[in-house]
Amino acid sequence: MRDEGGPTLSAKARAIRAGDVRTISRGISGIENGDEEMRDLLRELYPFTGGARVIGFTGAPGAGKSSVIHELIREYLRFGLRIAVLAVDPTSEFTGGGVLGDRIRMPVFHDHLYIRSFGARGRLGGLSDSCGQVLSLLDAAGFERIFVETVGAGQSEIEIRYYADTVVVVANPNQGDDIQMLKAGILEIGDVFIVNKCELPGADAAAAELTKMTHLFAKGERDGDQIAGYIPPVIKVSTREKIGLPELLNGIEECLHYLEDNDLLRASRRRRVEQDLSHTLSRVWQNKVLAPFKATPLWQSLSEDVSAARLDPWTAGERLWEAITAADFITTLPQKTTLPKKRSKPRKE
Amino acid sequence: MSGGKIRVLIAKVGLDGHDVGAKVVARGLADAGMEVIYTGLRQTPQTVVKIAVQEDVDIIGISLLSGSHMVFIPEVIRLLKENKADDIGVFCGGVIPVEDITELKKIGVKDVFLTGSNMKDVAARAREIYAERQELRHAR
Ligand SMILES: Nc1nc2c(ncn2[C@@H]2O[C@H](COP(=O)(O)OP(=O)(O)OP(=O)(O)O)[C@@H](O)[C@H]2O)c(=O)[nH]1
Ligand SMILES: [Mg+2]
């Protein structure tokens, strides 16, 4: 039985625990916009997290990530699970706008399904700082599987490793000869590999090549990101011809089982938490230390000296560090420049 | 970096097989700095409202060419109310006879853009609708 949280919870937290879509949606917007009140809500919800499994999807643009998620949703719904999808799409760094197109490929509605599109909002990697918070909210809302579609380019494909329990890498047949070219990084983060569009020529070759690579990695040295003793499956899928979808569900669930049986889910949760904590700490450092520090005479005079080549940047860096490590450092920072207030009100466009 | 971003749902309801216009508007609003979600063709008022609530959009822009606007649009508005989501602003566009515009505005449609409207006007109106909605939310 799911603990609904009892009367000590706020109305909003209770609505989210009960799966109220509107409150969940508004909560996610609040997180995205950095609303202050979200911190209290998340504090209330956090004890209820831990039930969700996060599955990340990455792969080149157009590889079929959204189509695969769509078919998987249907497979999963048959098991009565509650599913959430976070689909991240690139937005223009210049205008901040964009058409978030993943959802068109997922024309499915169900009481147990929640789909949300995200603009990468110009953030490096596309997975926002808010990703961890949004996942916690959905987890507390009782979603049992959360699918995250990354923009499939740049840093996000590596970052998803920190947030997902299982990462699915979507490749295509035409990459047959190029599989070796798939960035080593991608091969290292995958827990399940699929060759989507497998009805097209070249699928067998691509799958064989991928299998070879996964074994190579399995035998080789594994770093902390890899699951010890686990060899990622390579599955041929066609969303068009409806091939390989139950097999894909099995592959994902077996990976999750493996993690569970070997007490590794805790490790992936731990990895997510550490990523979140470092995001939080960088933000605090940026706002509470670095920003006011830049306004101090010490910082100003040192940067002046470095610009005039009277001093080298490394020595200047050491002096700044000395200042920071002095016992009374925080009290020397200018008082006025406190946290730049996060806006919850609309910005004038 | 933070601060609200205007989120818009562009919706095609009914059986129209054409969505060039809808896509042009989607692109135009995206270029104007908004996050735009497009439903794809042949949605029902129910699915449009479901998507709007899941995506927490500020505005729904409904595109219609089939002439069934007097059936679908009031239904979308009714369902928004039913879902306590009527703080979402609705505008519509496409092929709509001038004589229906007053009626649509009476039931709560914020604006009607006929085929050939200037994208700048649509974006400007979307910003106004967003601002109104923001006030509504604060008042609640
Ligand atoms: N032939 C074939 N085409 C497919 C298959 N699955 C998806 N596609 C097509 O591949 C194209 C891209 O599919 P999406 O699901 O949007 O791919 P994506 O990886 O989500 O794309 P982005 O989000 O834009 O990076 C679409 O035109 C699909 O119809 C398949 O199994 N076979
Ligand atoms: Mg996609």
Question: Whole-model pTM above 0.90?
Answer: no
Interface predicted TM-score of the whole assembly (ipTM), two decimals: 0.91
Task: Give the span between the Cα atoms of B95 and B59, in whole angstroms.
Answer: 20
Residues of B in contact with A108 (CB under 8 A): none
Ligand 2 centre to CA of A216 (Å) is 29
Rounded to a whole number of angstroms, the CA Rg of chain B reads: 14
> Is the CB of A243 inside a 6 Å radius of any atom of ligand 1?
no
pLDDT at A180 over 70: no
- CA closest to A115 among chain B residues: B54
pLDDT of the residue at A338: 46
Calculate how far, in angstroms, residue A65's C-alpha sits from the geometric centre of ligand 1. Answer: 7
Q: How far is A26 from chain B (nearest CA, A)?
A: 6
Domain boundaries of chain A, sorted by first residue: 11-264, 275-332
User: Which is nearest to A225 in space by CA: A179, A193, A182, A268?
Assistant: A268
User: Within an 8 Å CB–CB cutoff, is residue A82 touching chain B?
Assistant: no
pLDDT value of residue A219: 44
**Phi and psi angles of residue A284, each rounded to the nearest 5 degrees, phi first:** -65, -45
CB of A90 closer than 6 A to ligand 1? no
**A179: CA distance to ligand 2 center in Å?**
21
- Interstrand relation of A166-171 and A113-119 (parallel, antiparallel or unpaired): unpaired
Contacts of B45 in chain A (CB under 8 A): none
Separation between Cα atoms, residue A194 and residue A170, nearest integer Å? 5
Q: What is the pLDDT of residues A125-165, one digit of tens each?
A: 456 668 888 999 999 999 999 999 988 765 556 778 888 99
> What separation in Å is there between the alpha carbon of A277 and the centre of ligand 1?
35
User: What residues are paired with B4 via a beta bridge?
Assistant: A346
Residue nearest to atom 5 of ligand 1 (CA): A197
Residue A297 CB less than 6 A away from ligand 1: no
CA–CA dist B131, B137 (Å, integer): 10
Closest-CA residue of chain A to B1: A121
- Domains belonging to chain B, first-starting first, are 7-139 (3.40.50.280)
Closest approach of B10 to chain A, Cα-based (Å): 10
The CATH classification number of A11-264 equals 3.40.50.300
Atom of ligand 1 nearest to the CA of A63: 19
Contact between B134 and B4 under an 8 Å Cβ cutoff? The reply is yes
pLDDT in tens, B10-66: 999 988 888 888 999 999 999 999 999 999 999 999 999 999 999 999 999 999 887
Q: Please spell the DSSP secondary structure of B49-88, one letter per residue.
A: HHHHHHHT-SEEEEEE-SS-HHHHHHHHHHHHHHTT-TTS
How many angstroms separate the CA atoms of A68 and A85, rounded? 12
Nearest ligand by distance to the CA of A58: 1
